[in-house]
Structure 1
Amino acid sequence: MKVVIAGGGFGGLRLARKLNNKKGIDVILIDQYNYHQFQPLFYQVATAGLDASNISFPLRKVFQKSRNIRIRMAIIQRIDTTEKMIHTDIGEISYDYLVLATGAGTNFFGNVELEANAFSMKSTVEALQIRHRMMENLELAVTTTDPQTLNRLMNIVVVGGGPTGVEVSGALAEMKHYVLPKDYPELDFRKMNIFLVEGSSKVLGAMSDKSSDQALKYLHQLGVTLLTNSQVEGYDGNELRLQDGKTIAASTVIWAAGIKGNIPGGFESVTVQRGNRLKVNEFNQVNNMQNIFAIGDVAAMISADYPNGHPQVAPVAMQQADTLSLNLLKIKENSFATLEAFNYKDKGAMATVGRNLAVVDIPKPKWHFGGFFAWLIWMALHLMLILGVKNRLFVFLNWVYNYLTYDQSLRLIFREFNRDNSTRNI
């Protein structure tokens, strides 16, 4: 049985590992990158806390000893569901069963201007681009003499008060206080503002009110300027416009306000759900497509408990991969009557705002806690989930070093000098 897994994120990688060396199943894992990316720590790459290699792990290394799993680095262009054929930029790949684990991308809600000028943070490359822009702006700020230009270069706006927005805002505020003044003594960082813009009335809307209130207190403590009930109208690269008429001068805007499922071409006839997600049944089977499954952020399993589908978080994708791996083995044995329905076990949610500052919600028993202990729990869990012993060690050592010194050492700007002495950013 030939199974093709599209996507090497949390769900796709977990499914491939569960099917590793299973007799009677050949697996092809397709991803546009040749490495797995640990998305929860993208914000630390963007704020120079971690190196990109610390949170990336080569997919081929994961399966060096595998007898049935092969990796293909390719971009999926279209899927022919009738012929069971995947069209990619490296050729065609056939399948008996296809599992879509393509994850989610940034949702700009149709705002073309925002998409062209704001930064998203859904890949390691995008996180590095944010870091690079921030460092370049500070280099320009050192030599500028115009007060308005200086203000624009130093300001940073984060849009979206979910976990990503809260975490990157807190990390930027800590850089402003502890790191950047030592690097740029010429600049007055009292003039630097970190704005967090949120469309609703509170941050961390998916978590408990206690977590939201505590996170709000932590953000104020770090000096983040929070603008709630504020909708973004547009951003031209220099000025962010809000629907209430207010404007914020900023050369860097990070968009963390929404995501949408990455659905490959070929599913135009399928009715998609809210958030550009494919509707699946209780076995993660795409509606009216017997040989195609979807897991993780791209799948919407509608139920009484989850009328809009499950949360688009890593634990859902990983649990769905576990269930689907068992069902694929049953399908191989023609045991369709014994397929296991997916049942999500919510183990809680957490977010960190800064050093010693985090919030954790546990559903059963219903429990909330924050502060230093929650921060330790957050760090321990993320260390366990990172692939590779060496990566875990490097991340841990970086965290210890940063904690003791209030510093990071990854503020690098890479440029290529051409023969005419012009430069090109890498």
Structure 2
Amino acid sequence: MDTNLPRTSQPRIVIIGCGFAGLRLAKDLADAPVQVVVVDRNNYHNFQPLLYQVATGALEADSIAYPIRKIFAGQSNFFYRMADVQRVDTATNTLATTIGDIRYDHLVVATGSLTNFFGLTSIEQNAMQIKSVPNALNLRSYLFQNFEKAILTEDPARRQALMNVVVVGGGPTGVEICGSLAEMRKDVLPKDYPELDLKQMEIYLVESGGEVLGPMSKDSQVQAKRYLEEMGIHVRLNTQAKHFEDGKLYYSDTEFIRTENLIWAAGVNGAALDGLPEAAVARNKRVNVDTVNRVLGFQNVYAIGDVANMATDEMPRGYPMLAPVAIQQAEQLADNFKRLLRGETLKPFQYTNKGSMAIVGRNRAVVDLPGNKHFGGFFGWLTWLFVHLMTLVGFRNKVVTLVGWAISYFSSDKALRLIIRPYKRSDFKDGKGKTKAELQSQTPQYNPSVPAPDAPVVGG
């Protein structure tokens, strides 16, 4: 029991996940008389907003990841265990993991989110996603592998499919990766692949809603769409992806876009924890919490960040799954733990909206600030760079990223076009460990005469 954690008379707070929420909570508890235990399957903190730059070769993976143990070096009440969490037993206050059971006095679920494919199995089996560092490295390898194949094929339709890229989801992730791909097509790929006519490469952004960047202001939506179209990206609004096979993405029973490069950035679910009662988990797999981030029905189990579903009169569908929300919830929960230790009343969470932003390309970005203030262009681009640079963990990562951005800006080049770990679709495993072949054996063959599920697609 407890995987060699030191015995202590102090309350033990176990945090599952070291994303934005888990990281901030653990750091803010440094001066509290508690034992802080973080459990994560990775030994690093991953800066998700820049994963798309790893996928497109603008940054290397170690520029946006930082070792957990190094982050907390010197914090005497902190302990880290690398493990997959299997389930929680709330009756015995025990967390079951792949390295053994861990007892807790207070449990904090900060597991983040998982990609939501809305039941579209053919897309889940074959599309690429960008939720983790391995995802980003797989996508980078896969894109360049397909360009190498395009050089060799003599079939024009096959070559077109290998070159075309379709991004599904018009949220910040979809918009940002489309812009990065358009810059690659213009400045990078013609130098590397002179045998190919890169003018034939098409980039599509497919969004089921009526606008890109749905949560942002109308001004930002219009400006971002204009930027995308100026960069030669085909923006298809009010269009639902339905099925993907044989290098074709179907958006109706008969209409399709020819591509081998489908990037899914269209939706997320919460990464709920097994062992919690059904009443505590919402339909989108987020965990229902009260105004102090306590899981409904429990006194010592909490959830923060993307996985937390805090429904209020102002936010009846819960707070958005954004890093600022996760960080502020972590800060408030840390303060409430200290209040709890002092026997004081817990304070409810109140979100302070500091604005939102998205980058489309060089000198092209959109920024919304409180008070219906909006700006974009070069100044918006500088603001985006500054905010993301300051949010990165670790001085080295800030410096390496800044240097990488500077080189890319002045040279119009991305030097990290490396296929270090070749990717094969046969390597696919879903979130439950099933292989692509196992999923296919459970999936009926696609029949164009039978409509695919009309699932709502939201921005990524």
Q: TM-score, normalised by structure 1?
A: 0.95
Q: Given residue 366 of structure 2, which amino acid in structure 1 is its aligned partner?
A: V
Alignment of 1:49-60 (within 5 A): 49-60=58-69
**Does 2:387 match 1:381?**
yes
Residue of structure 1 in register with 2:153 after alignment: 144
Residue of structure 2 in register with 1:410 after alignment: 416
Runs of at least 5 residues in structure 2 that lack an aligned partner in the other structure: 1-10, 428-460
Residue of structure 2 in register with 1:421 after alignment: none
**Does 2:264 match 1:251?**
no
The total of aligned residue pairs comes to 413
Out of 183, 190, 208, the residue aligned to residue 199 of structure 2 is 190
Structure with greater contact order relative to length (CA < 8 Å, sep ≥ 6):
2
- Contact 1:230 1:244 (8 Å CA) reproduced: no
Percent of aligned pairs with the same residue?
Answer: 47
- Contact 1:274 1:308 (8 Å CA) reproduced: no
Out of 24, 28, 40, the residue aligned to residue 14 of structure 1 is 24
Runs of at least 5 residues in structure 1 that lack an aligned partner in the other structure: 417-423
How far apart are residue 305 of structure 1 and its match? 1.1
Helix, strand or coil for the counterpart of 2:129? coil
Q: Structure 1 residue runs of 4+, over 3 Å off?
A: none
Helix, strand or coil for the counterpart of 2:279? coil
Alignment of 1:218-367 (within 5 A): 218-236=227-245, 238-243=247-252, 245-335=254-344, 338-364=345-371, 366-367=372-373
**Does 2:183 match 1:178?**
no
Residue of structure 2 in register with 1:63 after alignment: 72
Q: Deviations over 1:313-361 (max 9, x none)?
A: 00000000000001111212232xx211100000111000000000000
Q: Deviations over 1:117-173 (max 9, x none)?
A: 111111011011110000100111111111111011001110000000000001001
* Cα distance between partner residues in 2 of 1:179 and 1:415: 21
* Cα distance between partner residues in 1 of 2:313 and 2:277: 27
Q: Given residue 107 of structure 1, which amino acid in structure 2 is its aligned partner?
A: N
- Contact 1:117 1:237 (8 Å CA) reproduced: no
Alignment of 1:72-111 (within 5 A): 72-111=81-120
* Cα distance between partner residues in 2 of 1:63 and 1:408: 32
- Contact 2:280 2:295 (8 Å CA) reproduced: no
How far apart are residue 271 of structure 1 and its match? 4.2
Out of 2, 23, 26, the residue aligned to residue 12 of structure 2 is 2
Helix, strand or coil for the counterpart of 1:273? coil
- Contact 1:99 1:295 (8 Å CA) reproduced: yes
Helix, strand or coil for the counterpart of 1:270? helix
* Cα distance between partner residues in 2 of 1:243 and 1:88: 44
Q: Deviations over 1:238-278 (max 9, x none)?
A: 21111363201111101000000001210243342242211
How far apart are residue 20 of structure 1 and its match? 1.5
Q: TM-score, normalised by structure 2?
A: 0.88
- Contact 1:195 1:227 (8 Å CA) reproduced: yes
* Cα distance between partner residues in 2 of 1:285 and 1:115: 33
Helix, strand or coil for the counterpart of 1:281? coil
Q: Given residue 69 of structure 2, which amino acid in structure 1 is its aligned partner?
A: R
Helix, strand or coil for the counterpart of 1:286? coil
- Contact 2:168 2:262 (8 Å CA) reproduced: yes
* Cα distance between partner residues in 2 of 1:279 and 1:228: 32
CA RMSD for the aligned pairs? 1.2
